[in-house]
Structure 1
Amino acid sequence: MSETQLPPISVADVQRSVTETLDRLAPVIEPLGEAFAAEGFELALVGGPVRDAMLGRAHHDLDFTTSARPDDTERILKKWASTDRHGATWDMGRAFGTIGCRKGPWQVEVTTYRSEVYDPTSRKPDVDFGDTLAGDLGRRDFTINAMAVRVPGREVVDLYGGVVDLATRVLRTPGRPEDSFSDDPLRMMRAARFAAQLGFTVAPEVVEAMTAMADRISIISAERVRDELVKLVCAPYPRLGLTLLVDTGLADRVLPELPALRLERDEHHRHKDVYEHTLTVLEQAIDLESRLPGGGPDFVTRFAALMHDVGKPRTRRFVGDGSVTFHHHDVVGAKLTRKRMQALRFSKEEIEDVSTLVELHLRFHGYGTGEWTDSAVRRYVRDAGDQLERLHIVTRADCTTRNKKKAERLARTYDALEARIERLSEAEELAAMRPALDGNQIMEVLGLKPGREVGEAYKFLLDLRIDEGVLSEEEARQRLLEWWAAR
Structure 2
Amino acid sequence: MRDAFLGRESHDLDLTTSAMPDETERILAAWGDATWDMGREFGTIGARRGATVVEVTTYRADAYDGQTRKPVVAFGENLDDDLVRRDFTVNAMALRLPDLQFVDPHGGLEDLAGRRLRTPGAAEVSFGDDPLRMMRAARFAAQLGFDVAPEVRTAMTEMATSLGIVSAERIRDEFSKLMLAADPVTGLRLLVDTGLADVMLPELSVMRETVDEHRRHKDVYEHSLTVLRQAIALEGPHDGPPESVPGPDLVLRLAAILHDIGKPATRRFEPDGGVTFHHHEVVGAKMAAKRLRALRYDKETVKAVSRLVELHLRFHGYGSGEWTDSAVRRYVTDAGPLLTRLHRLTRADCTTRNRRKAETLRRTYDSLEARIETLMDAEELKKVRPELDGNEIGEILGISPGPVLGRAYKHLLSVRLDQGPIGKDAAREELLAWWAKRPESAAD
**Common fold: TM-score over 0.5:** yes
AA aligned opposite 2:98 = P
Residue of 149, 153, 165 corresponding to 1:207: 153
Where in structure 1 do 4 or more consecutive aligned residues deviate above 3 Å?
291-294
Give the match for residue 299 of structure 1.
Answer: 250
Match of 2:20 in 1: 69
2:98 corresponds to 1:152: yes
Give deviations 1:404-425, integer Å, cap 9, x for gaps. 1111110100010011111000
User: Per the alignment, in what secondary structure is the counterpart of residue 289 of structure 1?
Assistant: coil
* d(CA) in 1 for partners of 2:3, 2:316: 45
SS at match of 1:290: coil
SS at 2:217 equivalent: coil
Contact 1:116–1:183 under 8 Å retained in 2 = no
Residue correspondence of structure 1 range 86-125 to structure 2 within 5 A: 87-125=33-71
Match of 2:142 among 196, 199, 208: 196
- Give the deviation of 1:307 after TM superposition: 0.2
User: Which of 398, 412, 416 is equivalent to 1:465?
Assistant: 416
Provide the residue aligned with 1:405 in structure 2. 356
What's the counterpart of residue 290 of structure 1? 236
Q: In structure 2, how many angstroms separate the alpha carbons of the residues matched to 1:287 and 1:115?
A: 43
Residue 61 of structure 2: SS of its match in structure 1? strand
The residue that corresponds to 1:166 in the other structure is 112
Unaligned 5+ residue runs, structure 2? 238-242, 439-444
Matches of 2:299 and 2:185 in 1, distance apart? 26
Distance 2:200 2:69 in 1: 15
Q: Return the alpha-carbon distance in structure 1 between the equivalents of residues 320 and 214 of structure 2.
A: 19
Instruction: Output the amino acid matched with 1:244.
Output: L
Report the Cα distance in structure 1 between the residues aligned to 2:92 and 2:273, rounded to whole angstroms. 55
Asked whether the equivalents of residues 69 and 131 of structure 2 are also in contact (C-alpha less than 8 Å), the reply is no
Shift of 1:126: 1.1
Question: What is residue 367 of structure 1 aligned with on the other side?
Answer: 318
Deviation at 1:123, TM superposition (A): 4.1
- Once the two structures are TM-superposed, the CA of residue 294 in structure 1 deviates from its matched residue by 5.3
Instruction: Using the TM superposition, give the Cα deviation of residue 210 of structure 1 relative to its aligned residue in structure 2, in angstroms.
Output: 0.3
In the TM superposition, residue 457 of structure 1 has moved relative to its aligned partner by: 0.6
Distance 1:447 1:73 in 2: 70
**Distance in 2 separating the partners of 1:240 and 1:290:** 22
Checking the alignment, whether the CA contact within 8 Å between 2:59 and 2:77 is kept in structure 1 is yes
Superposed CA deviations along residues 217-239 of structure 1, whole A, max 9, x for unmatched, are 01100000000000001100111
What letter is aligned with 1:346?
Y
- C-alpha displacement at 1:473, in angstroms? 1.3
Letter of the 1:428 partner, please give it.
E
In the alignment, is residue 311 of structure 1 matched against residue 257 of structure 2?
no
Aligned partner letter, 2:337: D
TM-score normalized with structure 2 length? 0.96
Distance 1:117 1:471, change over 3 A: farther
Q: In 1, Cα distance between the equivalents of 2:374 and 2:14?
A: 52
1:76 deviates by 0.8
Correspondence for 2:388: 437
How far the C-alpha of 1:183 sits from its partner, in A, is 0.7
Q: How far, CA to CA, are the matches of 1:162 and 1:458 in structure 2?
A: 64
2:62 aligned counterpart, secondary structure: strand
5+ residue gaps in structure 1? 1-49, 82-86
Larger relative contact order, structure 1 or 2 (CA cutoff 8 Å, min sep 6): 1
Q: Residues 379 and 466 of structure 1 are in contact (CA less than 8 Å); yes or no, is this contact kept in structure 2?
A: yes
CA contact (8 A) 1:117 1:184 kept: no
1:388 aligns with 2:339: yes
Q: State the alpha-carbon separation in 2 of the partners of residues 307 and 125 from structure 1.
A: 34
How far apart are the structure 2 equivalents of 1:348 and 1:161?
44
**Offset of 1:314 from its aligned partner?**
0.4
Contact 1:93-1:99 at 8 Å conserved across structures:
yes
Mapping 1:203-242, distance limit 5 Å: 203-242=149-188
- Per the TM alignment, residue 90 of structure 1 is displaced from its structure 2 partner at its CA by 0.8
In structure 2, distance between residues paired with 1:148 and 1:123: 25
Alpha-carbon separation, structure 1, partners of 2:159 and 2:247: 34
- SS for the counterpart of 1:65 is strand
Look up the SS of the partner of 2:73 in the other structure: strand
1:122 is displaced (CA, Å) by: 2.3
Aligned residues: 433
Q: What is the TM-score normalised by the length of structure 1?
A: 0.88
Q: How many angstroms apart in 1 are the aligned matches of 2:233 and 2:67?
A: 42
1:328 is matched with 279
Distance 2:248 2:436 in 1: 53
1:273 aligned to which of 212, 219, 223: 219
* Alpha-carbon distance in 1 for matches of 2:293, 2:203: 14
User: Does the residue aligned with 1:156 lie in a helix, a strand or coil?
Assistant: strand
* Identical aligned residues as a percent: 65
